[in-house]
Structures are given as structure tokens and as C-alpha cells.
Amino acid sequence: MKKNFAIVLALMLMLTVVFTACAPAKTNMILATGGTSGTYYPYGGAMAQIFNSKIPNMNVTAQATGASVENLKLLGQNEAELAIVQNYMLDYAYNGIEAFEGGKIENLRGIATLYPEIVQIVASPESGIVNVQDMKGKKVSVGAPGSGVEANARQIFDATGLTYNDMSVSYLSFAESADAYKDKHIEAFFVTSGIPNAAI
């Protein structure tokens, strides 16, 4: 009896090893998103949950990042497999212009359009800012260094004849901008994101 049990147990162990060895390996992917106070991070987290629940053997991890520019660089360095980016930043990276001048990233492919992003300018009532020209001489956050937000701010100032030299500029993330605004260290800040955005 003991001998029979030992044979059955050995067979069960062998089958377990075989089935374990035959089980398909999980595909691990990093989804580069954005800062935790922006739209990309929660959106990316929800996307990762859907991928993981709907695609067999998929393990997507949403990673907080500095958003579009950093995400594209992570893709270019093969440190992420998926990323949420602003569409024109994708164009800049692919063509090696703006923040990517001298550093083309060509191993990129667009998958889907997710939602519209809107350039939003937040200004305190006390600042007297009611249009872009009114930012002259004011304390303004133009977004994190090298971010899509910062590129937008620069483009808007270029279109209205202003430069960073016309104001006191800070390079702050969404969360940092919101804190600086509440503490009255800045009078206005730029946000390029979907709506709503936790910083606003």
C-alpha cells in the first residue's frame, strides 16, 4: 500500500512539474504615464487593469513619470513598452526637433487616440491677468523642464510676441505649480491635460 501511494505521489509531482513547465510565461510591460497629480497616471492605471484582466498572461505596470518627453525617451531606451504621450511630442521625437533636437527616436508607433488635451492657463484674480499679454512682468510656471506643457507655453508666448525674459518663469510640475499658486509664489501656471485635472 505504501509503495502504491509513493508511485501515485511521484506521478502527481511529475505531472505538476510538466504542467508548470508548459504554462505560458507572463508578458511583462511597463506603461509610462505621468505625474500622480495629472491625468495620465490614473488613466494609465485603469488601462493597465483592463489589459491585465482581459489579455491572458499579460502583466502591465503603470509607472509614474515626468510625462510625454520622459515617456518617449523611456521608449527609445527600451525601458518601457507602452506610453501615454501628447501627439505632437510624438512627432517631435520621431523627427528629432524641439526637445528631441539631435536625438531622433524612431522606434515608435502610435496605437490609439485616447482623449483631447487642452492647454489651460490658471491665473489668480489678484494678478490682473485676463489674457496672455497680461503675463508680462508676472510670476508664471510654464511646466516641468522639457515637458509638453513647457513646449506649449513657449509656443503660446512665441505666437503673442512674448519670451520667458518678459516674466519671472518657474519650471514646475502640475502638483508643484498648484502648491506654489496656493502659497502665492506664482501668479499663473500652465496645464496641458485632459479634464478634470487634480492640480486645478
CATH of the domain at 142: 3.40.190.10
The whole-number pLDDT of residue 23 equals 58
Quick one: 5 and 92 in the same domain?
A: yes
Domain boundary, last residue among 114, 146, 180 = 114
The whole-number pLDDT of residue 24 equals 72
Quick one: 44 and 92 in the same domain?
A: yes
The whole-number pLDDT of residue 37 equals 81
Range of the domain at 162: 118-193
The whole-number pLDDT of residue 199 equals 83
The whole-number pLDDT of residue 165 equals 97
The whole-number pLDDT of residue 98 equals 86
Quick one: 81 and 99 in the same domain?
A: yes
Quick one: 122 and 109 in the same domain?
A: no
The whole-number pLDDT of residue 1 equals 45
Q: What is d(CA 8, CA 156) in angstroms, rounded to the nearest whole number?
A: 75
Domain boundary, last residue among 60, 91, 114 = 114
The whole-number pLDDT of residue 39 equals 87
Cell of 72: 518617449
Q: What is d(CA 13, CA 43) in angstroms, rounded to the nearest whole number?
A: 43
The whole-number pLDDT of residue 10 equals 46
Domain boundary, last residue among 114, 130, 146 = 114
Cell of 198: 487634480
The whole-number pLDDT of residue 22 equals 53
**Regions of the chain short of the pLDDT cut 50:** 1-7, 9-20
What is the separation, in whole angstroms, between the first and last Cα of the chain?
Answer: 74
